[in-house]
Amino acid sequence: MDEKVIKNIVMTIDSGTKGVRAILFDDVGNELGKSEIIYDGYYSKSFQWKEASPLMFWNGLVDAIKIIKEKYPKYFNEIQGVTVACQRDIITVVDEKGEPLRDFISWLDRRTLEQPLKYPLPYELLFKLVGFSELAKSFSINAHAHWIKINEPDIWEKAHKFVFLSTYLITRLTGRIMDSQSSTVGHVPFDYKNKKWCEKYDVKSQVLQIEPEKRYELVESCEVIGYLTADAAGLTGLRIGLPIISSGSDKGCETLGVGAIAPNIASVSLGTQATVEITTQKYVELFPFYPAFLAVEKDSYNPEITIYHGFWMIDWFVNEFLALTDPGAIYALLESYLVETPVGAGGLVHQPYWGREAYRPEARGSLIGFSEGHGKKHIYRALIEGLGFGLLEGIKLIESKTKTSIDAIGLSGGGSRSDGVAQIMADIFNRPVYRVQTFETTGLGGAMAAFVGLGRYGTTKEAEIHMVRKSKIFKPDSINVKKYDLIYNNIYKKIYGRLKPLYKKI
């Protein structure tokens, strides 16, 4: 795009699992330019651990901004504000200056404690009475903050604050250890319904034991959270004092970016984590004690169902079954697989519970129905269809709990780039699905929040009217809908119950 004079420009820093993007948007939702840095510093000290240095994320952010400055100098000089949207539940602890005391532990990290932290006897009895004991144990042993607390007590003792990746990056930009309520998503004692940290005697404070003094300061989304420091300006080339605006997590911003700000429109993210969520002003827990996260939209919530490994499964498939390295060739080949295979993958059915399912902790992924006629093309299609069935479970649960019919679905994430995948989702969901004018929906949602924070728009709803446009709609095919409905109801829904005893033994 030729650089013409545009005065209203913001930049979203989108730090995902694979890498970080710096993306420029104007106030009518046009993507003006972007850069990307792929992370290459993840490491594992033990099986299924995943950590990374804070500098991997910070240097990636700095380099991404420098590329924007080099490629789009006129736009760069007109940037009015910056916002940060990050992958969720990736944590560390910092000192009083905001300097990390250890590397970040990723949300993909599977380390656990052998035993939950102890809580007072009255709570233990209460948990047994209400059937919360096993869930409380799961939350406690899976909280990475607890792992640091037990296994690195000297570091925990020195820690001034417990932070997420978004908190850390905002601190480096502004010098203030703060974050938005919508970015506060993870194993933390946060009262989502009332938008604040839990009080001392709240149940969550007993299960997730992060001391009040170690919790960072909170702000609402769409607010100026601080201003760019001289040090950060010197490293990035941005001007000193540039406003940094709070937005939300990557999923929260995606939901805003596809225009899912009414409860009858769902956002389905086909990313490393696959999720389905809506935006509603009513607080709804889809499972007992499992919160609806705070939306970027003011006074609203995002009830969400997550398939933790989501389209990471496609990366796994490519790495294990394909010898190609050219992304374009991989994309074309995978698209051809969907054309060349039938609905239902020739009887191969996939259930995508590959781990960390909050309410199915024993679950594993499964592929059933193999015969001599199946090959890697069928496996690929079955993976896609299984993810669709898992997301359909979430859609139906959300509709049931909210008493609201979902009429349309906005797609985002890497998987949404595929027309074949998008059509399969429309057929499985039996609802029209659509893409918007940019694949960078996290960036777009962040930009919408930034323009509200800067006063360009009064609300995110007003920003949505001006900044979100449907670019392509996929309507369900009635014949395929019937086929998928039979597979979902007669086979898929029965797999978990039948295999659960074997999952437990595994």
Catalogue all structural domains in the chain, each as residue range(s) with its CATH number.
9-245 (3.30.420.40), 259-506 (3.30.420.40)
Q: How many CA atoms lie within 13 A of 190 on its CB side?
A: 23
> Within 13 Å and on the Cβ side, how many CA atoms surround 318?
17
Q: What angle do CA 359, 363, 366 make, to 5 degrees?
A: 140
CB 388 within 8 A of CB 348: no
What residues form DSSP beta bridges with 24?
11, 33
Give the Cα separation of 110 and 291 in Å (integer).
21
The phi and psi torsions of 285 (rounded to 5 degrees) equal -100, 115
Query: 253, 449 in Cβ contact below 8 A?
Result: yes
**Cα 478 from chain centroid (whole Å):** 31
Question: Whose CA is closest to 67, among 27, 13, 1?
Answer: 13
Under a CB-based contact definition with an 8 Å cutoff, are residues 41 and 18 in contact? no
DSSP structure string for 486-500: HHIIIIIHHHHHHHH
The structure tokens 């924007």 sit at: 68
pLDDT for 202: 92
Question: Cα separations (Å) of 220 from 141, 184, 290, 295, 303?
Answer: 30, 11, 21, 10, 18
The confidence score (pLDDT) of residue 2 equals: 56
Q: What is the pLDDT of residue 359?
A: 74
Q: How many CB atoms lie within 10 A of CB 416?
A: 25
Question: Could you tell me the sign of the dihedral formed by the alpha carbons of 54, 59, 60, 61, in that order?
Answer: positive
Please give the Cα distance from 294 to 303 (Å, whole number): 9
Place of tokens 């698209």: 335
Provide the pLDDT for residue 327.
81
Give the per-residue pLDDT at 442: 97
pLDDT at 213: 97
The token pair that represents 429 in the structure block: 């969901």
Asked whether the beta carbons of 460 and 449 are under 8 A apart, the reply is yes
First to last CA, the chain: 54
Render pLDDT for 389-446 as a digit per residue (tens, 0 to 9).
999 999 999 999 999 999 999 999 999 999 999 999 999 999 999 999 999 999 999 9
The Cα–Cα gap between 105 and 148 comes to 10
Q: Which ranges of the chain have pLDDT less than 70?
A: 1-5, 356, 358
* Residue 1 CA from chain centroid, whole number: 29
| Model pLDDT, residue 104 | 98
How far is Cα 482 from Cα 476, in angstroms, rounded to an integer? 10
